[in-house]
Amino acid sequence: MWLKPFIVIILFYFFAILQNSFFTHFVFSGGVLNLIFILFFLFVFFEKQKSYYWAFFYAVVAGLFLDIFSYASLGISIVLLMAMAFLIKKTQSSLKEEKDNFSLLHFALLFLVSFILYSLLLQTCIFIIIVPHVFTKFSLGFIIEIIYNLFFAVLAFLICKKYVKERVDTKQISLFRNK
């Protein structure tokens, strides 16, 4: 029971370190890779539908690490990611996707919307006093950042989907055998 949260925390911590050290050298035209957000999104996306508790748990862990390794006050990313987790799960349930049939299009679109929304809201929260800054976020660097993150997210999605599919296939085979 404790293994899953433990692994999740370790994974987020590892990705936070990686993002803040290794990927510092891979900034393209100001576009920074947000590995923690990608991992958070993948976890929430592949979590069972209506499994809000786990989605919120991912949001708390991811948000905490995002805040620790940034100069923002602790809690901003936690609240924002909780809102994102709620939105992702709600959208997924409204899309009425078949169980374990995750489409790349849904993933990419949801990721795009969530990432842009999260970045803009974070920007607003950090620079709350100077509102026009939100609008200056729309720059070439931001577009490059979106594409950069989307590329890695899609790559991770394809790997995860393969793993999820394999797991479902094994489950179905074992169920068939039990019959």
Partner 1 sequence: MNVSSASSINKKKKNYLKFFSVAIVLCIFIFVLNIFSSQIKNYFYLLSSPVQKTFFTAGESLSGILNPFLNIYNLAGENEKLKKENQNLLSQISLLQATGEGIRASFDFSANCQDKNFTTVMASVIGLDGQDVISINKGSSEGISEGMPVVSQQGVVFGKILAVYKNFSKVMLISNKNSVIDVKIQQKTADPLMPEINGVVRGNGNFSIFLDLVQVDQEIKEGDILITSSLEKVFPKDLLVGKITKIEKNDQKPFQQAKIEQFFEVKSADNLFVITNYKQEN
Which residues sit at the interface with partner 1, rule CB under 8 A?
Answer: 13, 16-18, 20-27, 29-32, 34, 56, 64, 68-75, 78-79, 82, 123, 126-127, 130, 133, 136-137, 139, 141-142, 145
Listed in sequence order, the DSSP H helices in the chain are: 3-20, 35-46, 52-68, 76-95, 104-126, 133-136, 140-178
8 A C-beta contact, residue 23 and residue 39: no
Q: Which amino acid is at 83?
A: A
Residue 118 CB, nearest distance to partner 1 (Å)? Answer: 11
Residue closer to partner 1 by CB (options 101, 136) is 136
Cβ proximity to partner 1: between 29 and 103 the closer is 29
Nearer to partner 1, 73 or 172 (CB): 73
Query: Which residue from 37, 8, 6, 66 is spatially nearest to 156, judged by alpha carbons?
Result: 37
Nearest approach, Cβ of residue 128 and partner 1 (Å): 11
Integer-rounded Cα radius of gyration of the chain: 17
Which of 40/161 has CB closer to partner 1?
Answer: 40
Query: Considering the complex, what minimum distance in angstroms separates the CB of residue 95 from partner 1?
Result: 22
* Contact (Cβ atoms closer than 8 angstroms) between residue 67 and residue 76: yes
- Closest distance to partner 1 from the beta carbon of 87 (Å): 15
